[in-house]
Chain A
C-alpha cells in the first residue's frame, strides 16, 4: 500500500518539488509565531529537498520514472533535475539557518521572510521545470520579486536595504521586459513558446530568434549577478546582513544561473542560432570573470566580496555553457555546485558573527571557529585549491575548453583563481593572524546552532572535491538528457 503511494509521489515528483515550498510559503502566513513558522518552514523545505534528491537519484541512477501528466506544462530535462535538486537542498539549509537570526526580523516579519524565501525556491524550481518561455519568465519573476520583497523587509533593520531593493526592482524590471520581448521574438521565429522545440524547430528568421534568445539571456544574466549587469548586487547585499544574504546571494543567484544554463543549452543546440548565442555567452562570461575578479580584489565588505566572487564564478558558468558540448554543460553544472557551496560557506560564515566589513573578520578564528573554518574552506574553493570542488569545477571547464580549442578559457580560469588567491588569502590572514578589534556580534543562545548545518554542509560540499565521482556522473548524465524525460 505504502509502496503505491511512494510510486504515486515519484510520478508527481516535479510537481511536488514546486508545490511543497509553495504550500509552505502559504502556511507561513497563518502559523503566527516566528519559531513555529521556522519549524514548519524547515519541515517543508526538507520535504521538498528529499523529493528533489530522490527524483535526481532515480533519474541519474538509470531508472527513469514515468512522469504523470497533470495538466501543468512541465518539461523535465537533465539540467532541470540536477539544478532543481541543488536549489531544493540549498533552500532547505538556508531556511534552517534563518533560525539563528529570527530575533533580527522580529516576530511579525519572520514568517513573511520565511514565506518569501520559500517563494524564491518555488520560483526558480518552477522556472527549471517550465515547458514554455512565458511560464519560465513568470516563475523567474516570482522568484525575483520575492527576493526584492525580502530585501525590502530587511529595511526594518537597516534602511540601506531600500536602496538595494530599488536597484533590484529597476534592473529586474528592465530584465523582465527584455525577457518578455525576447520570448515573443523567439516564438515568432520558431512558431512556439516551448523551450524544447528550439533545437528541433526550423527557424525561419534566425536573426529574430537570436535576438530574442539574447534578450532572454541578458534578462537572466541580470538576475544571476553576471558582470557587468550586476549593478544591483552591491547595494542589495552589502548591508543586508544575517541570513537574508544567504537567500539572495546564494539561493537567488544559483537559481538564475541554473535557469540561464538550461535555457542556453537549448538555444545553443539550435543550429541556426547556436553559434551567435555561444559567442554572446563567451563574451559575457569572459567579462564577468575579469570584472568580478577585479571587484572582489578591491572589496572592503565581505558580503560584497562574496557577491563579486560570485560574479566571477558566474562568468565561469557562462563560459562552460558557451562551449555548447555535453562536456561544457557538465562543467557548468559542476560550477553551479562549486558556486553554491562557496556562497553558503562565505555568507553563512559571515552570518554567524554578523560580519559585514572585512575589519570585522579580525580575530574571527578564535571567536567563531566553525564559521571561520567555513569561510576558509569557501576561500580555498574560490582560489581553486586542489581537492576542493572549486578546483574540480574549474578543471572540468579547462578540460572541456582545451578539448574545443578554447585555450583562452584556461587563461580566464587562471585569472579567476589568481584573484581568488588575493582576496581569499586576505580573509584567511584577517581571521587567523590578527587580533580582534571589535566585540563578537554573533547571536547568542541555543538557536545559534541553527547555523551549524549550513556551515557543515558547505565544508563537506567543498571537500567533495576529494571523491566527486557521484557528482561527476550525475552532471555528465544530466548534460546528455536535454531531450527531456519521457512521460
Chain B
C-alpha cells in the first residue's frame, strides 16, 4: 500500500499533465482563431512542463521547458500582431483563403 500510493499520485499528476498537453495540442492544431491557437500552445507547453515535474525531472529540464515556452509565447504574440497587420484577420480559414487567392492570381498572370 505504501509503495502503491506514491506511484498513484505520480501517475495521476502525469496523467493530468499529459491531458493538458493533449487538450492544448488539439486546440493548437484545430482552432481557427490564431489567438486560440497560441493559447492552446501555451496550455500544451504547460502540460508538458507539469508532466516533467510530475515525473521527477530535475531543475535543468524544467528550466529548459519554461524557457522554450517563453520563447514560443513571444514569437507567437509577434506572429499574431504581424498576421493582423498583414491580413487584417486572425482567423486561419480567412488567411488560408487569402493565400489561395494569391496563388491563383499568380498562376493566371
Chain A residues with CB under 8 Å of chain B are 134, 137-138, 141, 145, 148-149, 152, 155, 159-160, 162-163, 165-166, 169-171, 173-174, 176-178, 180-181, 183-185, 187-188, 193, 235, 238-239, 300-301, 356-357, 359
Nearest to B74 among chain A residues (CB) is: A145
In the bound assembly, the distance between CA atoms of A416 and B12 in angstroms comes to 45
User: B102 touches which one: A145, A149, A160, A176 (CB < 8 A)?
Assistant: A160
In the bound assembly, the distance between CA atoms of A301 and B41 in angstroms comes to 30
In the bound assembly, the distance between CA atoms of A152 and B81 in angstroms comes to 12
If the complex has contacts A138-B68, A159-B86, are A181 and B29 also in contact, measured as CB distance less than 8 A?
A: no
Interface of B is mostly: helix
Shortest C-beta distance, B75 to chain A (Å), equals 6
What are 7 A-B interface contacts by the 8 Å CB criterion?
Answer: A155-B82, A173-B28, A173-B45, A184-B51, A193-B61, A238-B103, A239-B103
Contact yes or no, B72 A176, CB < 8 A:
yes
What residues of chain A lie closer than 8 Å to B47, measured between beta carbons? 177, 181
In the bound assembly, the distance between CA atoms of A121 and B40 in angstroms comes to 29
Residue B60 CB within 8 A of the other chain: yes
Contact yes or no, B72 A162, CB < 8 A:
no
In the bound assembly, the distance between CA atoms of A138 and B60 in angstroms comes to 11
Shortest C-beta distance, B33 to chain A (Å), equals 11
Contact yes or no, A187 B55, CB < 8 A:
yes
In the bound assembly, the distance between CA atoms of A300 and B65 in angstroms comes to 39
User: A184 touches which one: B44, B45, B61, B103 (CB < 8 A)?
Assistant: B61
Q: Mark B19-37, 1 if CB is under 8 A from A, else 0.
A: 0010011001100001001
In the bound assembly, the distance between CA atoms of A155 and B25 in angstroms comes to 26
Shortest C-beta distance, B8 to chain A (Å), equals 15
Nearest to A184 among chain B residues (CB) is: B55
In the bound assembly, the distance between CA atoms of A173 and B68 in angstroms comes to 9
What residues of chain A lie closer than 8 Å to B68, measured between beta carbons? 137-138, 141, 176, 180
Contact yes or no, B76 A169, CB < 8 A:
yes
In the bound assembly, the distance between CA atoms of A183 and B48 in angstroms comes to 10
Contact yes or no, B82 A148, CB < 8 A:
no
In the bound assembly, the distance between CA atoms of A163 and B103 in angstroms comes to 13
Residue B9 CB within 8 A of the other chain: no
In the bound assembly, the distance between CA atoms of A341 and B71 in angstroms comes to 32
Contact yes or no, A138 B64, CB < 8 A:
yes
Contact yes or no, B86 A177, CB < 8 A:
no
Shortest C-beta distance, B104 to chain A (Å), equals 11
What residues of chain A lie closer than 8 Å to B52, measured between beta carbons? 180-181, 183-184
What residues of chain B lie closer than 8 Å to A193, measured between beta carbons? 57, 61
In the bound assembly, the distance between CA atoms of A155 and B78 in angstroms comes to 12
- Candidate in B47, B56, B72, B86 with the most chain A CB atoms within 10 angstroms: B72
In the bound assembly, the distance between CA atoms of A152 and B80 in angstroms comes to 11
Shortest C-beta distance, A434 to chain B (Å), equals 16
Would you list the 4 A-B pairs with minimal beta carbon distance, nearest first? A177-B48, A159-B86, A184-B55, A180-B48
What residues of chain A lie closer than 8 Å to B29, measured between beta carbons? 170-171, 174
Given contacts A174-B41, A188-B56, A238-B103, 5 further A-B contacts (CB under 8 A): A138-B68, A166-B37, A177-B24, A184-B57, A193-B61
Shortest C-beta distance, A207 to chain B (Å), equals 13
In the bound assembly, the distance between CA atoms of A166 and B95 in angstroms comes to 11
Shortest C-beta distance, A410 to chain B (Å), equals 35
Residue B16 CB within 8 A of the other chain: no
What residues of chain B lie closer than 8 Å to A173, measured between beta carbons? 28, 41, 44-45, 72, 76
Contact yes or no, A134 B107, CB < 8 A:
no
What residues of chain A lie closer than 8 Å to B44, measured between beta carbons? 173-174, 177
What residues of chain A lie closer than 8 Å to B18, measured between beta carbons? 181
Shortest C-beta distance, A6 to chain B (Å), equals 34
In the bound assembly, the distance between CA atoms of A359 and B56 in angstroms comes to 56
What residues of chain B lie closer than 8 Å to A138, measured between beta carbons? 64, 67-68
Nearest to B56 among chain A residues (CB) is: A188
In the bound assembly, the distance between CA atoms of A357 and B104 in angstroms comes to 11
If the complex has contacts A170-B29, A174-B41, A188-B56, are A181 and B78 also in contact, measured as CB distance less than 8 A?
A: no
User: A357 touches which one: B45, B71, B75, B107 (CB < 8 A)?
Assistant: B107
Contact yes or no, A183 B61, CB < 8 A:
yes
- Candidate in A141, A162, A173 with the most chain B CB atoms within 10 angstroms: A173
In the bound assembly, the distance between CA atoms of A188 and B34 in angstroms comes to 35
In the bound assembly, the distance between CA atoms of A180 and B21 in angstroms comes to 11
Contact yes or no, B99 A163, CB < 8 A:
yes
In the bound assembly, the distance between CA atoms of A274 and B46 in angstroms comes to 30
In the bound assembly, the distance between CA atoms of A180 and B78 in angstroms comes to 24
In the bound assembly, the distance between CA atoms of A87 and B50 in angstroms comes to 34
Shortest C-beta distance, A132 to chain B (Å), equals 9
User: A170 touches which one: B37, B61, B95, B99 (CB < 8 A)?
Assistant: B37
Shortest C-beta distance, A73 to chain B (Å), equals 10
Contact yes or no, B79 A180, CB < 8 A:
no
Contact yes or no, B55 A180, CB < 8 A:
no
Contact yes or no, A357 B25, CB < 8 A:
no
If the complex has contacts A169-B41, A188-B56, are A181 and B107 also in contact, measured as CB distance less than 8 A?
A: no
User: A160 touches which one: B17, B21, B49, B99 (CB < 8 A)?
Assistant: B99
User: B82 touches which one: A152, A177, A238 (CB < 8 A)?
Assistant: A152
If the complex has contacts A138-B64, A187-B55, A187-B57, are A181 and B28 also in contact, measured as CB distance less than 8 A?
A: no
Contact yes or no, A166 B86, CB < 8 A:
no
What residues of chain A lie closer than 8 Å to B99, measured between beta carbons? 160, 163, 235, 239
Contact yes or no, B57 A149, CB < 8 A:
no
